[in-house]
Amino acid sequence: METKLPKHIAIIMDGNGTWAKKRGLPRTLGHKKGSETLVSVAKECSNLGIKYLTVYAFSTENWSRPKDEVDYLMSLPHSMISRYEEDLMRDNIKLRFIGFRDRIDERTKKEIDRIEKKTENNTGLELLVAFNYGSRDEIIKATKEIASEVNDGKISVDDITKDYFSKKLFTANIPDVDLLIRTSNQIRISNFLLWQISYSELYFTNTLWPDFSKEDLDKAIEAYNNRDRRYGGIKK
């Protein structure tokens, strides 16, 4: 059977804390190892010819975690960009951060803006990092923007279509997710890309995110290949 590559893969990278706890290590070291896994998975997706990879790095609910863990997670974008900037350019990867930037410190925001600008003309894999992201808040944001446009007379209610709504999301002009992967034996969506995964194939694995390998990615893609995607229709 010919392998069908998903155009857009999304990953809920779960299990960093559990990985660290099993080894008697601080949770922050689990996140550090998880960030290294992200780099290797992104490179593999790039090598395979995947066009879009969206990863859940920090949710709007993660602010409730212990302060030292939150502080470490907030520092990760800056340290990761510094460490892997040359790799992004060499591998022709376009990096984007999606989510709300109001609670992110100015130093990190400037670094995010800089790397997005530097990689914007890269034509390989587009890596979207969902950082301070929550899908319900994203949908409310889009709804408010459209309501304001209607109120100002810029559009009519009849102009509101699924395509128009999609263009108000952080993932505007990005195709919907084909394959959603969640690690660490957690079988839930956790407020991630609720609009964009309407017809995604879901794949759950017991593997903790820091241990997620090329072989694990291959298994997920193989499972995707064995699914019958009918989008509400019937197989001809």
Taking a C-beta distance cutoff of 8 angstroms, is the pair 55, 14 a contact?
no
Q: What is the CA radius of gyration of the chain?
A: 18
Q: Residue 189 has what pLDDT?
A: 97
Sheet holding 179-182, edge to edge: 94-98, 126-133, 52-59, 8-12, 179-182, 201-204
Strands, E assignment, the chain? 8-12, 52-59, 94-98, 126-133, 179-182, 201-204
* Neighbouring-strand partners of residue 114: none
**Structural domains in the chain?**
8-134+176-225 (3.40.1180.10)
Residue 236 confidence (pLDDT) above 90: no
16 is catalytic: no
**Local structure of 96: helix, strand or coil:** strand
Out of 14, 16, 132, 178, the active site residue is: 14
Q: Residue 229 has what pLDDT?
A: 74
Out of 62, 122, 191, 225, the active site residue is: 62
Average pLDDT (60-76) is 95
102 is catalytic: no
Average pLDDT (67-80) is 94
Q: Residue 185 has what pLDDT?
A: 95
